[in-house]
Amino acid sequence: MVELVIGTNVTGQNAFTYFQQQPQLQSTTDNQTVYVKAIETFSIQALAVSPITTGNAVASEAAIQNAVLTLNIAGTLEFQSIPLAILNRIIQSPGAACPGVYDLFQLKNTFKVDWTKSYVQTLAAPVGAPFSYLFGVHYSYEPDNFEI
C-alpha cells in the first residue's frame, strides 16, 4: 500500500503532488530489481480511513475522478496522465460518481520507478482535503547475483 496525502495546502487547478520515497519499491544497483506489475487505487467505498495516516479520510469517488497518475521510470515520464478512475476496481452502484473496472492496470518489465519524481495531478481544486489517495502496488523483486 502506498499513500499520497492531499493536504489543505493543495489548491487550484492542475496541482501536482509528488510521492515520497518508497524504499520497499525501489530498485537498487546493490542487490535487487523491483518489478512493478500492477497498480490499483481505493476509494472511500473500500476503506473509510487510511491505514497509514491515522484518521485521514480516503479519497472520495469524486476525488478519484478528479486526478491522474504519472510515473517516472528511470528518469523518464513513461506513463503520463493515467486517470485514477481506471485504477479503481471497486464497482460502484448504478449512478455512482466514479466508474470502476474489473481488471488490474498491469505493467510489464517496469522497474526503476522513481517515486519522488512520480505524482498525482488534481485537475480541479481538491475538495475535502486533507484526504489520502491509496494505491495498491503489486510487485516482485529479484536479487542481483544472489549466491549461497
**What is the tens place of the pLDDT at every residue in 37-93?**
999 999 888 889 999 999 999 999 889 999 999 999 999 999 999 999 999 887 665
Tell me the C-alpha distance between 123 and 110, whole Å.
26
| Residue 59 burial (CB count, 10 A) | 29
pLDDT band for position 97 (cuts 50, 70, 90): low
Residues 105, 80, 141, 116: is their CA dihedral positive or negative? negative
- Could you state, in order of their start, the residue ranges of all structural domains in the chain? 2-143
pTM of the shown model: 0.87
What's the mean pLDDT when you consider all of the chain? 88
pLDDT band for position 100 (cuts 50, 70, 90): low
